[in-house]
């Protein structure tokens, strides 16, 4: 049975997200692949260093192997990616089902790069670009759907909870909420009654649901792309999730004709180096707490 | 392109599309904590609130020990962040027992019972 013909919805019509006018797709994917390997290597080292001696044999060998693969990547890109995927899969499996959520995203990207050798043919390049874009759209869409289903955003309870226990959020939302409301939240009352706060809370999931739908059906919708950039910059600056931002935004760059990744990846690499400094005792450990 | 690759990718995306159902079923029927079993949209899910019932010598503790986010605690967070237990970001169970025993007496018998209180934004002594 030919599955790909039986479900044309996915493969024939709507998966045609790749922009075939772009001749530099392959080099952009190469940059993505390169950054992906750099990212998983960095993350493995961070996890190893962060565990402070409580590591298994996998935690020890994973960063070493990934570092080796990253250094020889330029010579044999696709094989390195397949090996990196297998190593990361073992690491992922060793902690499943309690694997951290970012593992999933990293693993899926590695999986897609292992399946398609974009250096081989234009066809595989297009399929890989399509798949990465589609994965990005699905992830974004479901984050909104989950927020909607669990109902913790209707009256801002989840954001209020984050404010109550996390300095990152309380420092930002102190500009919107009054001192009285902040004190009330910190004492455990998560219903604020502030309508601006409700508006922000509800607009997050609405945007996360609507934006990927528009992005999926109208790939040239520049307005929504620009709004997404603003949304992501705001979101990641508030939550300070730089490593996740660095990797999650990679497929998003592919929606643009301009090579945004050239600028953003340099910024993220600088942040990565800054994040490593506490572990080699150049700056104090509590800096990024 | 190889038809096998197309099929793998097709099933991969079908898996992605039904992922929320798998996630929901794992939480509902297999009692796997959705906070742990996160996946793609983990960050949008609230932490489950943990209700602590602390008894000392079989008498419930009225006043909960104040947990300060000192530098030591911050280091504890870093140490345990990949292995959250019921006390999540703040303390491990043994750290908490030590803290209570320090506050009262090292001879007291401390019993800690935790229970999940999902999705109820009410005032609790929560330790995440």
Q: Which residues contact A105 (CB under 8 A, 6 or more apart)?
A: A139, A244, A247, A248, B40
Establish if A178 belongs to a structural domain.
Answer: yes
| Residue B113 contacts A, CB cutoff 8 Å | no
Establish if A15 belongs to a structural domain.
Answer: no
Tell me the C-alpha distance between A220 and A214, whole Å: 10
In three-state secondary structure terms, A80 is helix
In three-state secondary structure terms, A158 is helix
Q: How many domains does chain A have?
A: 1
Question: Can you say how many angstroms the Cα of residue A4 is from the centroid of all Cα atoms in its chain?
Answer: 28
| Residue A233 contacts B, CB cutoff 8 Å | no
Tell me whether residues B3 and A161 touch, CB distance under 8 A. no
Radius of gyration for chain A, computed over Cα atoms and rounded to the nearest angstrom: 21
Q: Report yes or no: A256 and A225 within 8 Å, Cβ to Cβ.
A: yes
Establish if A2 belongs to a structural domain.
Answer: no
For residue B58, give how far its alpha carbon lies from the nearest alpha carbon of chain A (Å).
27
Establish if A159 belongs to a structural domain.
Answer: yes
Tell me whether residues B46 and A157 touch, CB distance under 8 A. yes
| Residue A235 contacts B, CB cutoff 8 Å | no
Quick check: ipTM above 0.85? no
> Where does the pLDDT of residue B27 fall: very low under 50, low under 70, confident under 90, or very high at 90 and above?
low
pLDDT at B124: 28
Establish if A85 belongs to a structural domain.
Answer: no
pLDDT at B70: 47
Find the residue in B nearest to A112 (Cα): B9
Residue A56: HSE in the Cβ half-sphere, 13 Å Cα cutoff: 9
| Residue A43 contacts B, CB cutoff 8 Å | no
Q: Report yes or no: B127 and B90 within 8 Å, Cβ to Cβ.
A: yes
Chain B residues near residue A188 by CB distance under 8 angstroms: 122-124, 126
| Residue B120 contacts A, CB cutoff 8 Å | no
Establish if A102 belongs to a structural domain.
Answer: no
What is the domain range of residue A163?
132-257
- By Cβ distance, the residue of B38, B41, B123 closest to A188 is B123
Q: What is the mean pLDDT of residues A172-192?
A: 82
Q: What is the mean pLDDT of residues A226-240?
A: 88
| Residue B20 contacts A, CB cutoff 8 Å | yes
Tell me the C-alpha distance between A65 and A87, whole Å: 8
> Greater confidence, A217 or A281?
A217
């Amino acid at each position: 049975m030919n599955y790909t013909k039986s479900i044309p919805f996915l493969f024939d019509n709507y998966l045609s997200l790749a922009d075939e006018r772009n001749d530099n797709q392959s080099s952009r994917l190469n940059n993505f692949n390169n950054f992906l390997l750099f990212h998983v290597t960095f993350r493995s080292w961070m996890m190893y260093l962060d565990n402070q001696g409580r590591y298994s044999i996998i935690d020890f060998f994973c960063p070493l192997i990934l570092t080796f693969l990253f250094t020889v990547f330029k010579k044999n890109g696709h094989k390195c990616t397949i090996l990196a995927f297998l190593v990361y899969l073992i690491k992922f499996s060793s902690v499943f089902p309690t694997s951290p959520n970012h593992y999933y995203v990293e693993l899926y990207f590695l999986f897609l790069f292992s399946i398609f050798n974009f250096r081989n043919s234009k066809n595989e390049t297009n399929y890989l670009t399509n798949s990465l874009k589609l994965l990005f759209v699905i992830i974004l869409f479901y984050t909104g759907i989950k927020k909607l289903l669990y109902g913790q955003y209707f009256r801002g309870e989840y954001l209020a909870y984050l404010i109550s226990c996390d300095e990152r959020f309380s420092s930002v939302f102190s500009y919107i909420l009054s001192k009285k409301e902040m004190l009330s939240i910190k004492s455990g009352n998560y219903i604020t009654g502030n309508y601006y706060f409700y508006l922000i809370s509800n607009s997050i999931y609405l945007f996360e649901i609507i934006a990927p739908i528009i992005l999926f059906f109208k790939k040239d919708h520049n307005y929504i792309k620009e709004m997404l950039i603003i949304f992501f910059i705001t979101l990641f600056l508030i939550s300070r999730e730089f490593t996740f931002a660095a990797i999650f935004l990679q497929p998003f760059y592919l929606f643009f004709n301009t090579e945004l990744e050239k600028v953003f990846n340099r910024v993220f690499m600088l942040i990565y180096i800054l994040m490593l400094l506490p572990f080699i005792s150049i700056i104090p450990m509590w800096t990024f707490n | 392109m190889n038809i096998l690759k197309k099929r793998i990718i097709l099933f991969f995306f079908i898996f992605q599309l039904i992922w929320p159902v798998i996630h929901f079923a794992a939480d509902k029927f297999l009692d796997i904590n959705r906070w742990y079993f996160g996946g793609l949209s983990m960050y949008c899910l609230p932490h489950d609130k943990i209700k602590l019932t602390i008894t000392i010598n079989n008498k419930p503790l009225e006043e909960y020990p104040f947990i300060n986010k000192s530098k030591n605690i911050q280091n504890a967070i870093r140490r345990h962040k990949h292995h959250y237990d019921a006390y999540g970001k703040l303390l491990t169970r043994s750290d908490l027992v030590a803290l209570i025993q320090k506050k009262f007496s090292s001879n007291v018998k401390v019993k800690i019972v935790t229970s999940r209180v999902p999705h109820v934004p009410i005032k609790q002594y929560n330790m995440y």
